Each structure stands twice: as structure tokens, then as C-alpha cells.
């Protein structure tokens, strides 16, 4: 009997792309993202890179908090379907380029961005420390990285069964950020609902 092949992460996200935004809205994640950017130090997004953009909800929250369009918005995802959904959601907010590629691609310039966003991305990566170093290299000096990262909870354990991602306690994420060369790293707790139990926000600066 042949072993069942697990679908790739890109295939899993492609299958749910059409209903992804509605699902995360029911769970309160866009509101949690808004709370993260409201609590973080103010700053214009400038040139923005959104990793694992999904439906574009994290980037949308960042742009709303800034109160003005970004200079440029680069969206990266391994799912073409998610890229299409994010482009439609964020149309008119900034000039947009799409990158159908994984984190770590050489297609994005070093020091090319003022803001890097990554919501529920590093949990899926085999080398989160290396990914954070790659993010730092994409930032201009003084640029900011914003993260939303899964944290340990029984709900997160259930999600891992389907999505295969890890979960990190805040002190572990802060240590990873420090090790990757970021400064002024802060943990920002989500205020309520499922996001407060399953995830947390972070902001750090390329010194």
C-alpha cells in the first residue's frame, strides 16, 4: 500500500484562498493586526515587503495605521491564488509587484525596503533564524520588521496537525530577533479573542 503524500503548503493555501479573508475575519485576526500596528512605534510604511501575504490582511492593517499609501508594496507568497486575492484587496493602496516565491528568494534587493511584514510565516520555515537574517538584509538601516507569530496553545496544536507549523513563546521570538541582528525588539500581545490565545505580535528595528 502506497503512503499518502501530504499536500504542499502552497497547495493547502491555494485550496482555501477564496474563503481565507472571511475566515480570519470571523476569528478576529484583522482586528488583532490593527491593534499591533496601533501599539507599535509610529512610522510611514515607505517601501513595504509583505511575506506570505495571504489575503493581504496584515499589509492592509499596516497601511491603514499609517494613514497614507505606501511608496511601493511587494507581495510575496508561494500560492498564486493568495497573491491574486491580496492584489485585489490592496489595489489602489500603492504600486504593487507580485513575487511567486519563497522567503529567501534572491529576487528581492538587499536594503530595498523600509518595512517588512510577516504574519504567521516563520512558523512554517525550517530555519527561522536564517529567515530573520534574510529579512534584516532586505531592510534599509532603521527599517522595521513586524511579525505575527503563533504561540503555544492547544488550539495551535490542532492547527499544526493540518498546517504543520510550529509555535514560539515570546521570549524565543525575541531571542531569534536579537540573534538575527535586530534592535529594540518588542513583544506586543494581541488584546482579545482567538488571536490573543494563539498568536502574538512583534516589532523590531534594523539598527
Residue 21 covered by a domain: no
The CATH number of the domain where 172 resides is what?
Answer: 3.40.50.150
Is residue 11 assigned to a domain? no
The predicted-structure confidence for 53-82, as pLDDT tens digits, reads as follows: 999 999 999 999 988 889 999 999 999 999
Helix (H) or strand (E) holding 131: helix 128-138
User: Is residue 19 one of the residues assigned to a domain?
Assistant: no
- Quick check: is 9 in a domain? no
Q: Is residue 158 part of a domain?
A: yes
- Bridge partners (DSSP) of residue 205 are 144, 183
Containing structural domain, residue 189: 26-36+43-206
> Order of strands, edge to edge, in the sheet holding 199-206?
96-100, 72-77, 47-51, 113-119, 139-150, 199-206, 182-188
Number of compact structural domains in the chain: 1
Query: How confident is the model over 76-110, as pLDDT tens digits?
Result: 999 999 999 999 999 998 999 999 999 999 999 99
On whether residue 17 sits in a domain, the answer given is no
Q: Is residue 5, in this structure, part of any structural domain at all?
A: no
pTM: 0.90
Amino acid at each position: 500500500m502506497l503512503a499518502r503524500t501530504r499536500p504542499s503548503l502552497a497547495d493547502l493555501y491555494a485550496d482555501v484562498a477564496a474563503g481565507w479573508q472571511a475566515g480570519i475575519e470571523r476569528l478576529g485576526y484583522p482586528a488583532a493586526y490593527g491593534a499591533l500596528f496601533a501599539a507599535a512605534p509610529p512610522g510611514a510604511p515607505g517601501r513595504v515587503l509583505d511575506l506570505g501575504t495571504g489575503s493581504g490582511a496584515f499589509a492592509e492593517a499596516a497601511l491603514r495605521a499609517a494613514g497614507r499609501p505606501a511608496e511601493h508594496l511587494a507581495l510575496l507568497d508561494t500560492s498564486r491564488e493568495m497573491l491574486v486575492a491580496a492584489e485585489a484587496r490592496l489595489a489602489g493602496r500603492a504600486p504593487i509587484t507580485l513575487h511567486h516565491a519563497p522567503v529567501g528568494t534572491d529576487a528581492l534587493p538587499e536594503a530595498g525596503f523600509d518595512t517588512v511584514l510577516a504574519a504567521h510565516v516563520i512558523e512554517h520555515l525550517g530555519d527561522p533564524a536564517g529567515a530573520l537574517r534574510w529579512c534584516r538584509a532586505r531592510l534599509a538601516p532603521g527599517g522595521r520588521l513586524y511579525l505575527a507569530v503563533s504561540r503555544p496553545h492547544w488550539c495551535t496544536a490542532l492547527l499544526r496537525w493540518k498546517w504543520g507549523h510550529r509555535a514560539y513563546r515570546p521570549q524565543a521570538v525575541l531571542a531569534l530577533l536579537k540573534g538575527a541582528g535586530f534592535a529594540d525588539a518588542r513583544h506586543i500581545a494581541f488584546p482579545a479573542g482567538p488571536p490573543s490565545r494563539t498568536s502574538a505580535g512583534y516589532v523590531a528595528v534594523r539598527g
